[in-house]
Structure 1
Amino acid sequence: MDRAAQGTSLAFLGVLAFSGSLPATVFAMEGFHPWLVAIGRAAIAGFIALTCLKAAKIAIIPERRDWPAYGLISLGVVFGFPVFSGLALALGASTSHAAVVVALLPAATAACAVLRAGERPRLLFWVACAAGALAITAFTLTQNQGTPTWPDLLMVGALLSAAIGYTEGGRLSRRTPGWQVISHTLVLSLPLTVPVTVALALLTPITPTPHALAGFAYVSLISMFLGFIPWYAGLARGGIARAGQTQLTQPLLTLLWAWFLLGERFGPATVAAALAVLVCVAVTQRART
């Protein structure tokens, strides 16, 4: 298996981990305030990351030259995506609808890879990427009588935040192991995530049902930490733009989780949009960077 194929395989493992994030967030919000879920997951993951760095005897603070990149990663994946996506779900967006909107994320990540990581994909890549984006845009507009809703706009904010965080993380992972990149990001965010989490825990109602605890555990351990280890490694090996297109498979996976865990029902338009982006990802994987 060549380096590009290894990158795609690793990236898909990350996507598989991330695909359960939205249903798990819905579970978590059954017993915890959306803001507490969004920030608390990073605080819990931060302590896990701190433990891992100490156990591996690696410096807690990364090199100063990388601080701006870590700041962007933190804004993107520690705060931006969890807050925006959590609020979208809290305002009534279904998991299946939000999952299909998130399929625009690979296009945004590819654009960031061109701007920040110096990657130059072929024309066929961009054609397939644009086709996937158009399929998702058309789906969103048809579901809302041609007008974007607040949950849709919040999900756009979530995917733009993630695209920035993914690009910067993939760029740093070219010379720093992916698990260290996400660990440093989470640890550097602790001075903000811990006091906010404590305040929210004291000021908001908490009902720790089994579903809520399981969902909170998933987004804290898997979505916020373990999933990033193969994800960043895959972006570094396979190319941020190319390997990042594996995330076009995430809507189908999340739809399956939403059906299995939440009992959500979705129509032919949702399935058609998800299948359209699945075809697009197949094309992008043939378009070498």
Structure 2
Amino acid sequence: MKASHRLLAVLVAAIWGVNFVAIEMGLRDLPPLVLTALRFVAAALPLVFLVPRPTARLRYVVAYGLVLGVLKFGALFTALAAGMSAGLASLVLQAQALMSVLLAATVLGERPTRAQVAGVLVGSVGIGVLAIDSGGHATVIGFVLTLFAAASWAVANLVMRASGETRPLSLLVWSSLVPPLPLLGLAGVVDGTHAVLDAITGLSWRGLLAVAYVAYVSTLVGFGIWNRLIARYSIARVAPFSLLVPVFGLSAAWLLLGEPVGPTELAAGATILAGLALVVRRSTADRGNAPAASEGREPEYAPAATA
């Protein structure tokens, strides 16, 4: 992976780390499924009228929207509302890195290198340490929902890679049309129709800012860059960079929400960084290999113009 693309992957990790704080702020004013629905409404409109249709088949667009929007983010936002702390959620969610690598190897036949497998395993140990010693910052239902969100994210990565999409931003924007109605329907069942309407009509400035960050910065910029990298490189090369999200997530939660960061969190963060170092380290043999055909393909995407 090019150095510039590694920097982009780190930038995405920083964006997503801060995203957990934005979600926490939004949940103070909005039910979780309503916040998730508004996220994708804002991500889709008005860009859906400005970007071309995805090149992938419709079933991939719909599948990506359902898996990423309804399953992954619906579960994650609900987990945070159910007592999962922002910092811990940013750690547990990165179990998707190991899941993504395993799914890509099983379903797509993408064979990770030994260094990539070792790095993901080491990083997963760091996440496991936090899972075992959460310090009271998580409920059982919150932890389970976050793991479910991680598995859904891994499937979304697989859908993105399998779609063959050459316009990752188009896929992201058009698939954002899929989640709002199912999410609002679920919110009506869980929270009641009146609660949903009151939350939307009484949206505060804090709620608006939270929606703006999770929609435009986290979704369009973050996932726009992420999907570009997934389309260009193998999942095994890209997914492990998400292991950096907890480092930024814990730091942001500590600075902005006052969530404590103790020795366990610091040790887990160091372990995660060590795992990422294994993933991005290129062996001598790897340097000598020519890039695969899929890695030479540059999809249509212009993050600066769209963001």
Aligned to 1:165: 156
Indicate whether 1:284 and 2:284 are aligned.
no
Asked if residue 242 in structure 1 is aligned to residue 237 in structure 2, the reply is yes
Are 2:268 and 1:273 equivalent residues in the alignment?
Answer: yes
Query: Given that residues 72 and 164 in structure 1 are in contact (C-alpha distance below 8 angstroms), is that contact kept between their aligned partners in structure 2?
Result: no
Alignment of 1:218-233 (within 5 A): 218-233=213-228
1:17 to 15, 18, 28: 15
2:177 to 187, 195, 201: 187
Where in structure 2 are the equivalents of 1:31-70 lying within 5 Å? 31-53=29-51, 58-59=52-53, 62=54, 66-70=57-61
SS at match of 1:104: helix
Q: Does 1:216 align with 2:216?
A: no
| Partner SS for 2:60 | helix
The letter of the residue matching 2:32 is P
CA contact (8 A) 1:125 1:283 kept: yes
SS at match of 1:265: coil
Q: Distance in 1 between matches of 2:4 and 2:28?
A: 38
Query: Aligned AA for 1:33?
Result: P
Matched position secondary structure for 2:109: coil
Q: Distance in 2 between matches of 1:197 and 1:143?
A: 29
The alpha carbon displacement at 1:139 in A equals 2.2
Q: CA 1:154 to 1:189, structure 2 compared with 1: closer, same or farther past 3 Å? A: closer
In the alignment, which residue of structure 2 is the partner of 1:150? 141
What's the counterpart of residue 101 of structure 2? 110
Offset from partner CA, 1:21-56 (integer Å, 9 cap, x none): 211111111111112101221122121331332xxx
Runs (4 or more) in structure 1 with deviation over 6 Å come to 194-198
Counterpart of 2:176 in 1: which secondary structure?
helix
**1:169 Cα deviation from its structure 2 partner:** 1.8
CA distance in 1, matches of 2:41, 2:156: 17
Task: State the alpha-carbon separation in 1 of the partners of residues 83 and 201 from structure 2.
Answer: 20
**1:148-192 per-position Cα deviation (integer Å, ceiling 9, x unaligned):** 8111101001111111112322444x5512211212211355665
Instruction: Evaluate the alpha carbon distance shift between residue 139 and residue 188 of structure 1 in structure 2; reply closer, same or farther with a 3 A threshold.
Output: closer
Query: Is the partner of 1:92 in helix, strand or coil?
Result: coil
Q: Secondary structure at the match of 2:133?
A: helix
Secondary structure of residue in 2 paired with 1:227: helix
1:28 corresponds to which residue? 26
Partner amino acid, structure 2, of 1:78: G
Q: How many residues align?
A: 278
TM-score, structure 2 normalization: 0.80
Distance in 1 between residues matched to 2:59 and 2:101, nearest whole Å: 20
- CA change 1:196–1:187 in 2 (3 A) is same
**C-alpha distance after superposition, 1:223-255 (max 9, x if no partner):** 222211111111222322112211111100111
Structure 2 equivalent of residue 258 of structure 1: 253
TM-superposed deviation, 1:276:
0.7
How far apart are 1:6 and its partner, in Å? 4.4
Q: Could you tell me how far apart the structure 2 residues matched to 1:197 and 1:46 are?
A: 20
- Distance in 1, matches of 2:18 and 2:59, equals 30
Query: Aligned residue for 2:120?
Result: 129
Aligned partners of 1:7 and 1:243 also within 8 Å: no
Match of 1:90 in 2: 81
- Which whole-Å deviations, capped at 9, do the CAs of 1:81-138 have from their partners, x for residues lacking one? 2111111111111111111112212111212222343311112221221122122123
Structure 1 residues 131 and 124: alpha-carbon distance in aligned structure 2, compared to 1, 3 A threshold: same
C-alpha contact 1:28 1:37 (8 A) present in aligned 2: yes
Greater RCO structure (CA 8 Å; 6+ sep): 1
